[in-house]
A and B are shown apart, each in its own frame.
Chain A
């Protein structure tokens, strides 16, 4: 079974500063990890995923995530935040074990202040 945890309910960052949204995982086996973003009253938009390979994964809209096996983390990062990045961010793991689909973390509200 796989699960993810997002320790922060909200993250505040000034526009132009780097941002980090944290995610840790707990898995039995290989981790399959995703980041999605949700704007108000909208569905989920895919940002990036880690299956295997390079620990630094590059995704949409300038986001990237670093897979760290020793710390069991998969933090989302962006070098320079935009006000339009303000949204709800979900880390997710592939459910696995014959159960197709995703299991989501509780979500982190990212607020970029002008």
Chain B
């Protein structure tokens, strides 16, 4: 298995809803990442987990809450989002912290989130 799987593929949520995005990989990778990509813009790094511990939070608002329950799974919990949070949310993984440099980063297909 050489894929990063993200679910759901599409999500529409209201500003008062609570929802979660899920990311899964079975490549034995020990670093996982959340990126946010607005339309016609490059992906921007949100969170980095290394060995299931949050190592980097790029000043993301608290309405986004990441969770890494185990080495294969990464969640992004969403609460009280704003319409401007509508974007494609991409998950990625690499063999380990800083190993993406040597072995690359594998990206999922993303979750298209619309906040209404």
Contacts and interface: CB of A to CB of B under 8 A. Distances in A.
Contacts of A51: 101-102
Interface residues of B, number: 30
B86 interface: no
A103 B45 contact: yes
B104 A94 contact: no
Interface string B39-80: 011111100101000011000000000000000000000000
Contacts of B44: 104
Interface string A74-102: 00000000000000001000110001111
A44 B42 CA distance: 11
B33 A101 contact: yes
A94 B101 contact: yes
B97 A44 contact: no
B81 interface: no
B42 A94 contact: no
Which 4 residue pairs spanning A and B have beta carbons closest together?
A104-B42, A44-B107, A43-B107, A43-B109
